[in-house]
Amino acid sequence: MFFVGRKDSQIKLRGYRIELGEIERTLARHPHVDAAVVACIERAPLHKALAAFIITSEPPSLFEQLKNELRQQLPDYMVPTLWQRVADFPNTDNGKIDRKRLAENFVADSSLVSPQTQALSDTEQMLLALWMRYLPIKNGRS
């Protein structure tokens, strides 16, 4: 018997169980959101974050409004910290939304580099090298 993982959209992040569908439904109720998908993205080794992918014709300034509204309706740990507007969602062969591909595309987009993912200082490089040596980390920052 092999354990493959969860088939639903429930994740565990920073010790909290999070139902991604609940966040998506809350976002979808907003009049300027055509569709929303939330995924868990690994921004750096052992550092995961919630990312919201939104289909909308509104400017990115809408994201701040959405964050504020989510904070009023959901616990703080369920509010995505990363946001991206997309034209559509990639699908799997079965026609379901491909969350893995969404996450990969987000990480690969160099225009979305945040201050936390820019060049490492000498101290950070030394610490990262030590962590990679003694912890099961394959590479540095994503």
Q: Domains of the chain: which residue ranges?
A: 10-114
Among the residue ranges 2-6, 8-12, 119-123, the one predicted with the least confidence is 2-6
Q: What is the C-alpha to C-alpha distance for residues 142 and 123, in angstroms, rounded to an integer?
A: 18
Asked whether the predicted pLDDT for residue 1 surpasses 70, the reply is: no
Mean predicted confidence (pLDDT) in 21-41: 93
Q: What is the pTM of this model?
A: 0.68
- pLDDT for 120 equals 62
Which of 25, 32, 78, 71 lies closest to 55, judged by CA? 32
- Out of 3.30.300.30, 2.40.50.500, 1.10.357.10, 3.40.50.11310, select the CATH number for domain 10-114: 3.30.300.30
Cα separation of 103 and 2, whole Å?
A: 25
Q: What is the pLDDT of residues 85-124, one digit of tens each?
A: 888 999 999 989 998 888 887 754 434 444 444 456 667 7
